[in-house]
Amino acid sequence: MEWGRTEVTETEQKTRFPDVPEEIILCILLELPIRYLLRFRCVSKRWRFLISDPPFSISVQRRHVIIASHYYQPEFSLHCINDDGSIMEIPRPKPLQFAGCLRIGGLCNGLVLLNSSEDLFMWNPFAGCCKKKKIESSTLVDEHLHWLVTESNIGEDPFSLLTNLIVCFVPQTNKFVKVPMPDCDGTREHTGILGLDKVGLIKVGLGVLNGCLSLSQCISKKYNDIEVLVMKQYGEKESWTRLFVIPEITLLYWKDKLVPLCCIKDMVLRFRLGPQIQAILAWGLNKKSQGVFPIPNGSRYIDSASRKYSFASQPLQRRGRVHGNLALCGDKQVEA
Amino acid sequence: MASSIENNNEKLTLKSSDGEEFLVEKHVALQSTLLQNMLDSDCSSADVIPLPKIDARTLALVLGYCKKHADASSSKQGELNSFDSEFLKDMDMGALFNLVLAANFMEIKGLLDIAAQKIADTIKDKPHQEVREIFHVENDYTPEEEAAVREENRWAFEGFP
């Protein structure tokens, strides 16, 4: 792109603009999508400080989605969906230049955990750092892992008589803990998955929205309407709040796993972890419309994680352990 | 105090930095939190209120914005939105900067937001060197340091010098 001056910028050059206090510079920077902000870290040391965190939080108020896509192994690519809805490719982290298949294992204090074969890497796409970690090391993750479980995948566990529970794994105690579920109100139809009527409403996905544990569930017999709830106070049953309802989901096959992924301005993105087709669905809260995000490179298998913009290169030192390659990882810091 | 609320047609006088006086209806002036606080604290509206940081051209624009927003009923949000974008449409950077400073000084949140957004839209496609000039920021990086920061976010620089 060429940076020729237009007539407007020529007149601008003649006038000296007034000096602007930092509070106004912050107001202006807050309006910029993150991909522009990243460049402006080069303006000066002070600007870099303002844009990076801590302590100012221009970046941490935004979220974006990191996607790892791999149709077949050597072709994996990393992309992010920005807060303005744009998609850009992120270069592979240096230690993984020649790695094969890559999976997103979860998030840890703003760092993305990448699994490549046997190795686990902690990666910050903005700080450009990527560090290899031993899975056994003990001060890695403070984030508790949550699952939506059903009879079929909990096996001989004590919870096996119940289905569609949320369980949380507490690494400090090595125990699974039940998370309170929202009440099914009596006016709704109680439909069971696979004929299990006792489960109440069909739960289709578990995720994190605005730092709260979030659940999506079918609320009609035809399974066309999806309700999204958040637990505003972690661990408090009464704090489950309906966020919105997406009526008439047209893409039937999505409903298998519809995971609330993140809010980017007025969009909420969902991610389906199905066996065949994976895609990201955007639901516009204001426009009440839905659309599909094009998946880069037409890949059929993708991982994704939604993270706050952050420039941290080190995880905070806390107790905890990473347990294997687990599918869901909340970025809410949960009190044990 | 009570009498001034009853009389909606009451006017007050604002004086710009270059000495021009503006007669403003009170309900229009109330768009500004600064003026509202001054009136609430029993500052006599008969006095001329000096605004030493705002020139006449900018003050006229600010008052135009305030009048539109004070007169429109809340149900006409769509109309206000189109007024806002039209209001800033052909404004040059110098005027925008004066406007954002005035809105900040007079505490007019809506105007501050739209002016900051407009400036953000204008600078976002500019190379960072030019942004440095616009904001009079001194480049305190050594060439090596700047290159290092740039390298961290190499991918955000695609197509930029």
User: How do residues A103-135 score in pLDDT, each as one tens digit?
Assistant: 776 665 567 777 776 667 777 776 666 676 544
* pLDDT score at A27: 84
Torsion, CA B31, CA B37, CA B40, CA B45, rounded to 10: -70
CB A40 within 8 A of CB B131: yes
Average pLDDT, chain A: 62
Please give the full DSSP string across B72-135, using - where no structure is assigned: S-GGGHHHHHHHHHHHHTT--HHHHHHHHHHHHHHT-HHHHHHHHHHHHHHHTTS-HHHHHHHT
Give the strand pairing for B11-15 and B48-50: parallel
User: How do residues B61-111 score in pLDDT, each as one tens digit?
Assistant: 999 999 988 887 666 777 888 888 888 888 888 899 999 999 999 999 999
**Residue A36: pLDDT above 60?**
yes
Q: Counting beta carbons within 10 angstroms of the beta carbon of residue B35, is it exposed (0 to 12), middle (13 to 18) or buried (19 or more)? A: buried
Contact criterion met (CB < 8 Å) for B92 and A46 = no
Half-sphere exposure of A21 (CA within 13 A, CB side): 7
* pLDDT score at A248: 62
pLDDT band at A145 (very low <50, low <70, confident <90, very high): low
**What length does chain B have?**
161
Name the token pair of A133. Answer: 């970690």
Task: Tell which residue, B104, B24, B23, B13, has the closest CA to residue B50.
Answer: B13
Give the strand pairing for A267-271 and A280-284: antiparallel
- Closest residue in B to A4 (Cα–Cα): B126
Which candidate from B98, B128, B146 shows the least CB-CB separation from A40? B128
Report the share of chain A in percent with pLDDT over 70. Answer: 37
Contact criterion met (CB < 8 Å) for A39 and B93 = no
- Taking the C-alpha atoms of residue B30 and residue A17, their distance in angstroms, rounded to an integer, is 29
Q: What would the mean pLDDT of A286-293 be, rounded to a whole number?
A: 69
**Which position has the token pair 């539109």?**
B68
Is B147 an interface residue toward A (CB < 8 Å)? no
CB B97 within 8 A of CB B55: no
- Taking the C-alpha atoms of residue A124 and residue A51, their distance in angstroms, rounded to an integer, is 16
**What length does chain A have?**
336
Q: What would the mean pLDDT of A242-271 be, rounded to a whole number?
A: 65
Interface-testing mutation among A14, A28, A47, A49, with chain B (most B C-beta atoms within 10 A): A28
Q: Is the ipTM of this complex over 0.90?
A: no
Q: What would the mean pLDDT of A270-290 be, rounded to a whole number?
A: 62
* pLDDT score at B114: 92
pTM: 0.59
Name the token pair of A59. Answer: 């970046």
Half-sphere exposure of A210 (CA within 13 A, CB side): 13
Interface-testing mutation among B53, B97, B109, B142, with chain A (most A C-beta atoms within 10 A): B97
Which candidate from B101, B127, B152 shows the least CB-CB separation from A3? B127
